[in-house]
Amino acid sequence: MKSIIVVARKDLRIEGRSRTLLARVVPFALLVLVLFAVALDSEPLILRASAGLVWMAILFATMLVVQRSFEIETSDAALDSVLSCTSSPSRVYFGKALATFVQLFALATLLVLCSVVLYGSRVDGDGLVLLVTVMLTATAGLSLVGTLYGVVVARLNGRDSLLPLLSLPVLAPLLIGAARATEAAFGSQTIDMSNGWAWTALLAVYAVVFGSAGAVAFAPLAQGDS
């Protein structure tokens, strides 16, 4: 567990220094939210689609966060050095996923608040509990899948375009689940709270499945085994 914290703390310290999240990811995600609103240009439509738009923006932002997470590992071959420090590379995987999770959860919080301001989304007490749970499970899933696919493309040419190409289809179910559950939390009339919790449970299962797969697959992928 200590190695996981050490890796996550290192990634977050680097993020604190480079301010990639603040300088690149947050402006990009906010821009996506604003552009969606401009493109839809219909208040009822925007309100109805707000949950999906928020998670779409988070999904795109995930690509930037994950790319940065592995850019720092490959630019001077630091990943080899880290892997040679542990007999359990899955700890490196979970450490990097944890750092990504912290960043994405902060971003999701900001974007939900922006959704309230920009799109007029509303959340009551019960909805807030559901919303926070959705944000936790969905960003955990995004982080675990993102980190897994991040290491898949880390040593490849054209990794910037390969990452979304490979991971977005896999993340589609998570997008659907997170959007539907968030819709319920926002008090949409098309989906009730119990359905929202069911989607959230599905998100948790998704995160566990990909977390387990990542724990097993990270080492051979990180080492470039053939």
Partner 1 sequence: MSSTVADATAIHLDDAVVALGGFPALAGVTLEIGTGELVALRGANGSGKSTLLRLCAGLLPLTRGGATVLGVDLADHRDAARTLVGLLGHDNGLYADLTARENVRFIAEMVGAPNDDVESSLARLGIDGRVARTRAAALSAGQRRRTALASLVVRRARLWLLDEPHAGLDSAARQELDSILRDATRSGATVVYTTHDVESRPESTPRTITLTGGTVTSDVAGAGLGEGVAPRRTP
Q: Return residues touching partner 1 (CB under 8 A).
A: 2-3, 6-7, 10, 13-14, 17-18, 72, 75-78, 80-89, 219, 223, 225-226
Task: Give me the half-sphere count of Cα atoms (radius 13 Å) on the Cβ side of residue 67.
Answer: 21
Cβ proximity to partner 1, 22 vs 85, nearer residue: 85
Compute φ and ψ for 138, nearest 5 degrees.
-70, -40
**Angle between helix 193-222 and 125-153 (nearest 10):** 20
The DSSP secondary-structure symbol of 207 reads: H
Cβ proximity to partner 1, 2 vs 189, nearer residue: 2
To partner 1, the closest distance from the beta carbon of 32 in angstroms equals 26
Cβ proximity to partner 1, 42 vs 81, nearer residue: 81
To partner 1, the closest distance from the beta carbon of 222 in angstroms equals 9
Cβ proximity to partner 1, 13 vs 122, nearer residue: 13
To partner 1, the closest distance from the beta carbon of 165 in angstroms equals 22
- 115, 30 contact by CB (below 8 A): no
To partner 1, the closest distance from the beta carbon of 67 in angstroms equals 15
Which sign, positive or negative, has the C-alpha torsion 58, 64, 65, 66? positive
Distance from C-alpha of 106 to C-alpha of 25, rounded to nearest angstrom: 11
